[in-house]
Amino acid sequence: MKKSEFRGWTDVFRFTLVETWKNRSFLIFMIIMWVICFFSVPVLALITDSKKRTTEEYEVDKTNIETAYVVDDIMFTDIGFDVAVFQRKDVFKNVKIQKIRGKEYEEVAKQIDEEPNSIIIHLTIGMNGASFDIVRGLESKVGEKECDYIGSILVKEFDTFKYEVTGTGAEQLRAMNSQYEVVALMEQEDGEFVSEKAHISEAKYWFVYALLFIIMMIVTSSSSQVATAVAQDKSTKVMEYLLTSVRPMALVFGKVVAHMVSTVMQLGISLGLGLISNVLTAQFMGKNFLKTKLPGGIFENITIPNVVLALLTVALGVMLYGFIAGLCGAMVRKMEELQESLSMLVMLTIIGAYLAMFASMSMQKTLTSPLFYTAVLLPISSPFLLPGVMLVGVGAWWMKLLSIAILLVLDIVILTASARVYELLILYNGSTLKPKDLFKFLRQAKGGKTA
Amino acid sequence: MSFEVRDLVKSYGDKVVVDHLNLRMDKPGVYALLGTNGAGKTTSIRMILGMLQRDSGEVLYNEKEMEPKSMNIGYLAEERGLYPKYALIDQLLYFARLKGVSKSEAMKRIRHWSSRLELDEYLFPPKNAKGRAPKPKLADQLSKGNQQKIQLMAALISDPEFLILDEPMSGLDPVNTDLFKEVIREEIAKDKYVIMSSHQMPTVEEFCTDITILNHGKTVLQGNLDEIKKSYGRVNLFVKCEHDGIMNDGVDDMIAQAGLSVVEKLPSEYHIRVSGEAQAMEFLRMLIDHNVTIIRFELREPSLHEIFVEKVGGYIPTEEERKAEEAKEAGVKNEEE
């Protein structure tokens, strides 16, 4: 493979990129996607806001609550926490508190149906731990904001109570309340300590999974665009003219990079709009949707080297699938044959993506399974999995670098092998070729024979 | 300056599609590459242009290996191609950019060729009544002839030093054919090397000085067109007499009497093969002696069309030769019976 084989790829790249973005159907699809990204954040914020009770303080200046029945299933009152603390706020100071003992919650619940100015404060243990349930009757005159206000006061006062009782701060208390596990670490050659039985949290798994899905979209979108573009050049006979100025390699390379950039731009702008929308939502609606929805600590491993290597992996993966797509496109004579020709590419993508998906699931249990190593090192699956692995900060460095090296070598091998095959295929107008014929062409190209 | 192809060979499997092609141009001009469909013309052109790898042989320009990608070559392919859904201007600018022409220079040349090839209404349509620029035209909105003009523009936009025209006039109406011919003449006048492939023999005769005729990949005839024709001699006699049924019958008799062979007999004209000028003059005297009114009496070399058909389609027998062949075949059959 000579440098001259790539001469003119930048012109192909520019033209392909500009014409892709000028395409009307592409633009309509993009605009729809951008509108969805921009407006989904405030809409989701509104929807989730109306469904979920907030713990923020809703200060109210008057209340209809006359009586509050306290049902304490957890016996918090026995350890010294007094639910009546909410009466420290002036607005609630005249509320009559009645502690219920030895009476079932359901009986009290029936009772407040006939008392529109009464509420129940139910201290209970549920699936997600302890909770303060503030219950109103069907005909209640008590507003939701009053209940929220009481709830937020109770949460705040209970936190203060915990610090006083245990003599700790918020961070220490959070650490004490966390689930603990024992991890055995082993020192690596580079001085890093790696756990053999380490695994990732559910939050990180979803992050890897989401990233895998985004990369799969980039790969499938850009590779199908490359195949379509090459097939279009052939079916419209423009190829014949283009080849007087550029080599087939430059043509395919320019198209692969253009469609990769185009797809990344699509997603980048969509994500950017989502972030801008989140900032505006936070400013005008007082709610940072992403901050409240994304689990904490998810971005702590997103460092510059990790991001650079992750992007490199994605780029190499897109190129790998792009070159294969270029070969699929070069195999057809007319556009109608493209679908059949793409079957090999689709199969490879599905195998690669599913392998990565199963490996990411296994990462919740262990990072040393053969499936994990296979998916990280195999070039058809590594572009989907490795970026996520890097950005959540797991896996040994040697493995990540080896995976990138394998991907790079395979890219070069496929590029070199396909350089001559493109020349043979791109002007081929014989009978319809099947994927197995591609290997025949590759063998002939390797042997220096013509088809 | 010279252009030379030496021993060019290309095979697909066991089939040799170009078999040791040789051609040479010592000075600018037009060289015709002729042959029937599938003779190997386009494959040879693709190898000359470096699109196809050759099995063996050399393509030399100025006695050095020709590097088409780094040369300024204009190519009008037999199978015309444009992106159907992209703006024409964008495509032309792209093709120019690939040839290393700057955008401003390309625009200048597009304007020139647009005017020359009468394509302004498609490439630079006037603003509408509201003063708005209309939407750029796409290739699929153009007729076949106009698409062909755009293709010619693409071939000429880099002002190439070397031009390859594969069937340049096919599918054009007479007006556009003349326009294309004018443009090609202008390019020839600029001392360019032109290789032309065409099935339209009169066009080839009009432009080309040297020819190569290919048949199944093999060169069957090659050389200077005038010399080739001279080598055949003036053996084609065209005779047209005043139409008269009786007189015509008389001419038939005179042809038989003179021992001539009729290649083709039209309602009012004979195409006769003679051995040379003496035999033709003898026949002319015979016609005059019999008071036949002669409208046309032309003795000329064979046309390129005739040479081509003879070389790739086999020798065209005269009527007598055909009859003799038929009689011979019938005789063989009788003997068998």
pLDDT digits (tens, 9 = 90+) for A306-344: 888 998 999 999 999 998 898 888 888 788 888 888 888
Domain with residues B3-229, CATH architecture: 3-Layer(aba) Sandwich (3.40)
- Asked whether residue A331 is assigned to any structural domain, the reply reads yes
Q: How far apart are CA B41 and CA B19, in angstroms?
A: 11
pLDDT score at B249? 63
Same domain (yes/no): A288, A340: yes
In chain B, the N- to C-terminal Cα span, in Å, equals 67
Query: Between B316 and A376, whose confidence is greater?
Result: A376
> In total, how many domains does chain A have?
2
- How far is the C-alpha of B46 from the C-alpha of A426, rounded, in Å? 12
Q: What is the pLDDT of residue A357?
A: 94
Taking alpha carbons only, the member of A311, A223, A231, A307 closest to residue A260 is A223
What is residue A451's predicted lDDT score, i.e. its pLDDT? 34
| Cβ-defined contact of A240 to B154 (cutoff 8 Å) | no
- Least confident range of A373-387, A429-443, B45-59, B97-111: A429-443
| Cβ pair A244:B68 closer than 8 A | yes
**pLDDT by residue (tens digit) across B132-145?**
878 888 888 888 88
Verify whether the Cβ–Cβ distance B81 to A241 is below 8 Å: yes
Q: Is residue A186 part of a domain?
A: no
A446 has a chain B CB within 8 A of its CB: no
User: Which domain range does residue A101 map to?
Assistant: 67-177
Asked whether residue A8 is domain-assigned, the answer is yes
Closest residue to A245, CB basis, from B46, B52, B98: B98
Which of residues B180 and A333 earns the better pLDDT score? Answer: B180
| Whether residues A80 and A169 fall in one domain | yes
Higher-confidence residue of A41 and B102: namely B102
Q: Would the CB atoms of A245 and B69 count as touching at under 8 Å?
A: yes
Q: Which residues of B touch A4 (CB under 8 A)?
A: 69
Is A141 a member of any domain? yes
CA–CA dist A124, A76 (Å, integer): 10
**Is residue A94 a part of any domain in this protein?**
yes
In this complex, which of B49, B53, B69 lies closest to A423 when CB atoms are compared?
B53
pLDDT of A125-168, one tens digit each? 776 677 888 888 888 888 888 888 888 888 888 888 888 888 88
> In Å, how far is B133's CA from the nearest CA of chain A?
17
Using a pLDDT cut of 90, give the percent of chain B over it.
43
Q: Return the domain boundaries, chain B.
A: 3-229, 230-336
- Pick one of 3.30.465.10, 1.20.120.10, 3.90.950.20, 3.30.70.1150 as the CATH number of B230-336: 3.30.70.1150
* One domain for residues A322 and A385: yes
Sign of the Cα pseudo-torsion (A237, A241, A244, A246, in order): negative
Asked if the Cβ–Cβ distance from A240 to B51 is below 8 Å, we say: yes
B317 touches chain A (CB under 8 A): no
Tell me if A302 is assigned to some domain. Answer: yes
- pLDDT, one tens digit per residue, over B219-234 is 999 999 888 888 888 8
A427 and B CB contact within 8 Å:
yes
At residue A148, the pLDDT reads 85
Q: Tell me, what's the ipTM? A: 0.77
Q: Is A382 found in the same domain as A307?
A: yes
| Residues of chain A positioned with their CB less than 8 A from the CB of B12 | 450-451
Q: How far apart are CA A151 and CA A158, in angstroms?
A: 10
How much is the average pLDDT of A362-383? 90
At A287, the pLDDT band (50, 70, 90 cuts) reads confident
A-to-B residue pairs, Cβ atoms closer than 8 angstroms: 73
Nearest CA in chain B to A424: B52
The minimal CB distance from A245 to the residues B79, B87, B99 is found for B99
Which are the contacts of B49, defined by CB distance < 8 A and separation ≥ 6? A243, A244, B68, B73, B75, B164
Residue A427 with chain B: CB contacts under 8 Å? 46, 51-52
Nearest to B81 among A22, A236, A420 (CB): A236
Q: Is the pLDDT of residue A70 over 80?
A: yes
The whole-number average pLDDT for the span B82-93 is 92
Instruction: Suggest the residue from B15, B45, B55, B86 to mutate for an interface test with chain A (most A CBs closer than 10 A).
Output: B86
Same domain as A130, residue A19: no
Q: Which two tokens stand for residue A156?
A: 């705040």
Residue A185 in any domain: the answer is no
Is residue A62 less than 8 Å (CB to CB) from chain B?
Answer: no
